[in-house]
Amino acid sequence: MRSRLLISVIGLTIVLVASPVLAKPWKGISPLKTTRGEVVKLLGQPIGIDEEQRAVFSHIDGQVKISWKRPDCASKDLLWSEKEADDKALVYQITVEPKSFYRSIDDYEKPEPPPSPSEKEDIKTTYKRYLEHDVSCLMGSGISSCTITNSRTGFGYSDSTKLGVTSIYYFPSKTETDLFLSKVKPCSTDTIAN
Mind listing the pLDDT tens digit for each residue in 144-179?
788 888 888 888 888 887 888 889 999 999 899 889
Residue 54, pLDDT > 90, answer yes
The span from the CA of 32 to the CA of 89, in Å, is 9
Q: Is 0.95 surpassed by the pTM of this model?
A: no
Give the gyration radius of the chain's Cα atoms: 20
Dist. CA 15–CA 20, nearest whole Å: 10
Sequence spans of domains, the chain: 22-193
